[in-house]
Amino acid sequence: MKIIDRLREDKIHISFEVFPPKTDEGLDKVIHAVDEIAQLNPAFISVTYGAGGGTSKNTAKIASHIKNDLHVLSLAHLTCASSTKDEVRNVIGNLKKLGIENILALRGDIPEGMKFPDTNRFRYAYELVEEIKKHGNFCIGAACYPEGHVENEHKSDDIRYLKQKVDSGVDFLTTQMFFDNDIHYNFLYRIREAGITVPVLPGIMPITSAAQMKKSQQLSGTVFPRRFLAILDRFGSSPAAMRQAGIAYATDQIIDLLANGIKNIHIYSMNRPDTAAAIMENLTEIIKS
């Protein structure tokens, strides 16, 4: 089944994201976390590609396990900046062989010290989307940035590039994490005005520690609202309290999104089934309504 078909259903869908281990030795631990998350009945589980594409083989293994062993829809991430065109084509072929129907097409971070762009690599995500389209009937997702991509100075350029990417064959979009829902609502208004009509899944990151917040800000450049900073200031030194407060904050974001008519939510669960389960427990009756 393709994710786009699920997203078109008139019901609430909650999905989760996991990431592969840095080494093969850590695969069993990740598989165990995935097995627990699958018990929460997610709409799908996405698997990231790993920093620099170095864990791509485990992305395919985990995505295959989710689909073929757990019988849950899986979404395999695929980045192109760190891999040659032939390497990308090999990955697409392997995913097809494993029966993976859904790919999230990303440019990805440029590895430090690498000359980029070069003629043997895809430069933009839309080029990767076009390549995936050549290899079969995949459902293709892509990323979007409610606060603007860090490499684009003007938001108008950001939306213009996003439109180009969607027009290349993207079926749905998933946002980078954000912590102020008004930013998301404003973003939706602007992209709809630009003619981007595909489903957009808001990406929610439960921040459960001060260190996680710092890392998230470094990676994404996201803005933390004053309300969240107050939570961090008050509870950041107590791991148990900060975990509970972070889960509550993420739950509150999700409830507000659902109350405003958004039915598809993607949670960056960070291989933490306990965090994913706590959020789902807070939503049991809301999801049914």
Q: What percent of the chain has pLDDT over 70?
A: 92
Q: Hey, how many other C-beta atoms are within 10 angstroms of the C-beta on 141?
A: 27
Distance, CA of 286 to CA of 289 (rounded, Å)? 5
Asked if residue 283 lies in contact with residue 14, where contact means CB atoms within 8 angstroms, the answer is yes
Q: What is the mean pLDDT of residues 225-241?
A: 92
Distance set, CA 166 to CA 108, 135, 170, 227, 250 (Å): 17, 18, 5, 34, 28
Distance, CA of 65 to CA of 151 (rounded, Å)? 35
Distance, CA of 52 to CA of 115 (rounded, Å)? 14
pLDDT at 152 over 60: no
Q: What percent of the chain has pLDDT over 90?
A: 76
- Cα angle: 179, vertex 184, 189; to 5 degrees: 165
Higher pLDDT, 117 or 180: 180
Give the model's confidence band at 244: pLDDT under 50 very low, under 70 low, under 90 confident, else very high.
very high
Residues forming beta bridges with residue 141, ordered by sequence position:
104, 172
Q: What is the mean pLDDT of residues 190-200?
A: 97
Higher pLDDT, 53 or 190: 190
pLDDT at 149 over 70: no
Q: What is the mean pLDDT of residues 249-256?
A: 98
Give the model's confidence band at 81: pLDDT under 50 very low, under 70 low, under 90 confident, else very high.
confident
pLDDT at 118 over 50: yes
pLDDT at 15 over 90: yes
The pLDDT value recorded for residue 203 is: 97
Q: What is the mean pLDDT of residues 169-189?
A: 96
The pLDDT value recorded for residue 219 is: 65
The structure tokens listed for 189 are: 């208004």
**Can you list the domains of the chain with their CATH numbers?**
3-288 (3.20.20.220)
The pLDDT value recorded for residue 50 is: 67
Distance set, CA 117 to CA 36, 83, 142, 213 (Å): 40, 11, 20, 31
Distance, CA of 115 to CA of 13 (rounded, Å)? 41
Mean of pLDDT over the chain:
91
Give the model's confidence band at 51: pLDDT under 50 very low, under 70 low, under 90 confident, else very high.
low
pLDDT at 74 over 80: yes
pLDDT at 190 over 90: yes
Distance, CA of 42 to CA of 74 (rounded, Å)? 10
Q: What is the pTM of this model?
A: 0.93
Q: What is the mean pLDDT of residues 17-37?
A: 94
For tokens 């998350």, name the residue: 37
The pLDDT value recorded for residue 82 is: 83
The pLDDT value recorded for residue 150 is: 55
The pLDDT value recorded for residue 158 is: 87
Give the model's confidence band at 198: pLDDT under 50 very low, under 70 low, under 90 confident, else very high.
very high
pLDDT at 53 over 50: no
114 three-state secondary structure: coil
Q: Choose the weakest-confidence range: 46-55, 58-67, 196-205, 257-266.
A: 46-55
Residues that are catalytic? 17
